[in-house]
Amino acid sequence: MFELVADENVPTPVVEALRSNGYEVHRAQEEYGQGTADGEILEACADEGRVILTNDNDFALLVEDAEHAGVVVYNDQNLRTREILRGVVSIDNAYDSPENQLEWLEGWI
Average of pLDDT values for 22-40? 94
Average pLDDT over residues 7-22: 96
pLDDT in tens, 18-28: 999 999 999 99
Q: What is the pLDDT of residue 90?
A: 97
Tell me, what's the pLDDT at 42?
A: 94
Which residue from 83, 81, 84, 57 is spatially nearest to 71, judged by alpha carbons?
A: 57
User: How confident is the model at residue 66, as a pLDDT?
Assistant: 87
CA distances in angstroms from 27 to 18, 68, 96, 107, listed in the order given: 12, 18, 23, 24
* pLDDT tens figures, 47-76: 999 999 999 888 999 998 889 999 999 999
Per DSSP, the chain holds a count of helices (H) and strands (E) of 5, 5
pLDDT score of 68: 93
DSSP state of 104: E
Contact by Cβ (8 Å): 21, 47? no
| DSSP symbol at 63 | G
For helices 12-20 and 81-94, give the axis angle rounded to 10 degrees. 50
What confidence score (pLDDT) does residue 10 get?
95
Q: How far is CA 15 from CA 26, 65, 81, 89, 102, in A?
A: 8, 28, 9, 13, 20
Give the percent of the chain with pLDDT over 90: 85
Q: Mean of the pLDDT values across residues 31-51? A: 93
Q: Give the per-residue pLDDT at 64.
A: 86
What does the DSSP 8-state code read for residue 69?
Answer: S
